[in-house]
Amino acid sequence: MVCKMGTNMAKSGMMRCLSLATGTGFGLAVTGGQAFAAGASEPGLPQLDISTWPSQIFWLIVIFGVGYVMMAKIVTPKIGTVLEDRRTRLDGDLGKAREASAEAAKIRAEYEADLEAARNDAAAFARKAAAEAAEKAASVEGKADKKLASKVATAEKKLASAKAEAMENLNTVAAEAALDAVKGLTGLKATKAQAEKVVKAAAKAMAPQEAN
Amino acid sequence: MASQGMHSPVEQFEIKPLIELSAAGFDVSFTNSSLFMLLAILVSGVFLMTAMRQGELVPGRMQGAAEMMYEFVADMVRSNVGSEGRAYFPFIFTLFVFLLFGNMLGLIPYSYTFTSQIVVTFFMAAFVFVGVTLIALFKHGLHFFSFFVPAGAPKVLIPFLIVIEVISYFVRPVSLSVRLFANMLAGHTMLKVFAGLAVMISGAGGLAMAGSLLPFLALIGLTGLEVLVAALQAYVFTILTCMYLNDALHLH
């Protein structure tokens, strides 16, 4: 038994090795010869019992044929349809998504353009307003300056005339005081005209010193 | 030993008729092999249709798996054959699903692996071979035979190269079928050998029971490997079919 198993193993191992080479036919022929010699009842390779071949070929043709028709008419079209549907669906969805994306980009561009225009308008408006305000301010300031200047001028004039009047009065007072003093001290009688003359001269002499 | 319940590791490949039938002098009984062919088609069909029943926009796990299988084969056809391969997509898809489910179902204990039958794999490979050759002849006419003359080869070598090309062309169905058959045969034999070994050692009783753990652990690893092989060989058969179809449609 063990020996038999050994030969079978060797045989099958050899077959496997040779199976890649084209020379396997020879190996087959050898084992086939043994099997025929041994007969069906002895344990040879049952594959080489040609009495079973017609039935196997017959049922292979029938079953493979039926299987082919089933696969060709029902199974592969079914799977193919599902895959095709998925592909079209995906393509359709992708197309839709692409369209939507393009639409969104367009809307965004429009929005950006609107925003930009509004921003420009606002900037222009702000510039205009600022310019107007500046102009107004300048004109108001100019008017105020003129008013102020005229007021200052009038005030200065008034001041100057008041000063001159005061100076005049001062000279008169000084002349009268000098006259009284001369009269009291010397008893001499000086005329008013003389006194005024002297005072004027004195005032003139002092004026440059005051200016310093 | 065999009479004491120990089975030969190749006994699993035996064809057992379930319903005796005969037609035109041939035995066409419905066998365990036929049953699992039918199961492969039914299970895959029911799985795919159940998964796709809702046809949801966002697929769940089942629908995701079904769509993945479809896309996997569609990509394979698109990248290996091009847009002209569209017409052959249902056939390639059926082929892949049939082999994948057949290999996978075969890994379930007490099930049957119809891809371990050389007659099945060879008939499929021969069908592909004859099919692509006819497609090439219809499409290119006599120009098809330029396929056997490698472009740019030195004139002296051309006769030899033609011989090599012709041989390699006609070996295609053999290599295509034997690759799948041998992988399944070897894998399942190995699984049986290790399982039988584990049972045999444990049958010795006592301390030897512990020794049976070793082939059992090996069996677990091998089962994982066989799942890989089952998927890989379905893929290899399908992609080679795509390549042959591409050669037929485009002549290199």
Mean pLDDT of A163-189: 82
β B26-27/B30-31 pair status? unpaired
Question: Which tokens hold the place of B84?
Answer: 């002209």
Per-residue confidence (pLDDT) for residue B7, from 0 to 100: 67
Mutation target vs B (from A31, A63, A90; most B CBs, 10 A cutoff)? A63
Indicate if the pLDDT at residue B236 is higher than 80. yes
Band of pLDDT at residue A6, cut at 50, 70 and 90: very low
**Does residue A185 lie in a domain region?**
yes
- Contact criterion met (CB below 8 Å) for A35 and A48: yes
**Does residue A205 lie in a domain region?**
yes
**Does residue A131 lie in a domain region?**
no
A13, closest residue in chain B (CA to CA): B186
Distance from CA of B193 to the nearest CA of A (A): 7
Mean predicted lDDT score pLDDT of chain B: 87
Rg (CA), chain A: 69
Residue B252 and residue B242: Cα distance in Å, rounded?
A: 13
Residues 7-26 of B with CB under 8 A from A: 8-11, 13-15, 17, 21, 23, 26
B70, A56: Cβ pair inside 8 Å?
no
Band of pLDDT at residue A169, cut at 50, 70 and 90: confident
Least confident of A185-189, B39-43, B162-166: A185-189
B157 reaches A (C-beta below 8 A): no
Other CB atoms within 10 Å distance of the CB of residue B55: 15
Per-residue confidence (pLDDT) for residue B155, from 0 to 100: 81
Among A30, A36, A31, smallest CA distance to A51 is for A36
Question: Which tokens hold the place of B86?
Answer: 């569209």
- Contact criterion met (CB below 8 Å) for A19 and B179: yes
A74, B49: Cβ pair inside 8 Å?
yes
**Does residue A32 lie in a domain region?**
no
Mean pLDDT of B146-154: 80
| Alpha-carbon separation of residue A168 from A100, A131, B132, B235 (angstroms) | 100, 55, 146, 138
CA neighbours within 13 Å on the CB side: how many for A92? 6
A8, B193: Cβ pair inside 8 Å?
yes
CA angle B110–B116–B119, rounded 5-degree value: 130
Q: Domain count of chain A?
A: 1
> pTM of the full predicted structure?
0.68
pLDDT tens digits for A40-91?
445 578 877 777 888 889 899 999 999 999 999 998 898 988 888 888 988 9
CA angle B184–B189–B193, rounded 5-degree value: 155
Range of the domain at A180: 161-211
Of how many residues is chain A composed? 212
**Does residue A51 lie in a domain region?**
no
Per-residue confidence (pLDDT) for residue A208, from 0 to 100: 61
Count Cβ–Cβ pairs < 8 Å, chain A vs chain B: 185
A64, B45: Cβ pair inside 8 Å?
no
- Contact criterion met (CB below 8 Å) for A1 and B1: yes
Residue A46 and residue B32: Cα distance in Å, rounded?
A: 13
Q: E strand or H helix at B248, and its extent?
A: helix B213-250
Question: What is the residue type of B40?
Answer: A
Backbone angles phi, psi at B22, to 5 degrees: -150, 145
Could you tell me the end-to-end alpha-carbon distance of chain A, in angstroms, rounded to an integer?
A: 154
Per-residue confidence (pLDDT) for residue B5, from 0 to 100: 52
Among B15, B232, B65, smallest CA distance to A46 is for B15
**Does residue A168 lie in a domain region?**
yes
Per-residue confidence (pLDDT) for residue B109, from 0 to 100: 85
Among B101, B81, B84, smallest CA distance to B242 is for B81
- Contact criterion met (CB below 8 Å) for A161 and A154: no
Q: Where are the alpha helices (DSSP H) in chain A?
A: 2-18, 24-38, 53-70, 76-186, 192-211
- Contact criterion met (CB below 8 Å) for B249 and B139: yes
Per-residue confidence (pLDDT) for residue B212, from 0 to 100: 81
Per-residue confidence (pLDDT) for residue A13, from 0 to 100: 42
Residue A71 burial (10 A CB sphere; 0-12, 13-18, 19+): buried
- Contact criterion met (CB below 8 Å) for B92 and B242: yes
